[in-house]
Copies of this chain bind each other. A is one copy, B any other.
Amino acid sequence: MPRPRSLSHAQLASAALAVIDRDGLAGLSMRSVAKELGMSTMALYRYVDDREELERLVVDLVLGTVDTVPPGPEAPWHDRIEVLVRRLRDAVAAHPEIVPLTVAHRHRSLAGLRWSESVLGVLTEAGFDGDRRVVALRGLLGYVIGAIQLEHLGPLSGEGTVAITELPPDAFPHMTETARHARKVSADREFLGGLALLLRGLGT
């Protein structure tokens, strides 16, 4: 008598995310997730091809919480895009340890693709098409991915800055001075400021 499948993909992803939130990304392994679920390690392979697919499930779980319905069409298009970017950033910020996973599995996550689709919708309504639309999406994706990583890897305004402040000032005059100044710039201002530059560059 065939036993029913006892696990859903969602349960699997939640267990993996629980491990990551508790022990960090380094704590994630097939064995640790299996233990979290009270099953044998090999049972996971009933539900998932390999570790990579498990990671993708985690990314989809987190990015799946992002509301991809574009905000009201009465707002200027650059404000609408900023809202979409903020939602993505906030979702990742709730689980900063998954940043490397989002990067690695970006183009295979359905939730991530849905977000891009939504951004493209706004761009299209704003009149972007052809090469310009490709470059706009690519530019936004590049910035968002890079900036989110910087933010959780020692941004110019965070702990990384302290190390930079202690560099030899004669070899790094601008870096040390900028780092000192950067300590007073909030992470929000840095992230959104860079985004504003990009959106301004996109403006007609």
Q: Which A residues are closer than 8 A to B by beta carbons?
A: 100, 103-104, 106-108, 113-114, 116-117, 120-121, 124, 130-131, 133-139, 141-147, 149-150, 153-157, 160, 163-164, 167, 171-175, 178, 181-182, 185, 189-191, 193-202
Contacts and interface: CB of A to CB of B under 8 A. Distances in A.
Contacts of A113: 164, 167, 172, 175
Contacts of A150: 138, 141-142, 145
Majority secondary structure, A binding face = helix
A152 B107 CA distance: 12
Nearest to A144: B146
Nearest to A203: B201
Q: Which 5 A-B pairs give the minimum distances between C-beta atoms?
A: A146-B146, A139-B194, A142-B147, A197-B201, A201-B201
Number of copies: 2
Contact of A174 (B120, B189, B198): B120
Contact of A175 (B100, B116, B200): B116
A178 B171 CA distance: 46
A120 B178 contact: yes
Nearest to A182: B134
Contact of A178 (B133, B142, B201): B133
Contacts of A196: 201
Given A107-B164, A197-B201, A197-B202, A131 B185 contact: yes
Contacts of A143: 139, 142-143, 146-147, 194, 198
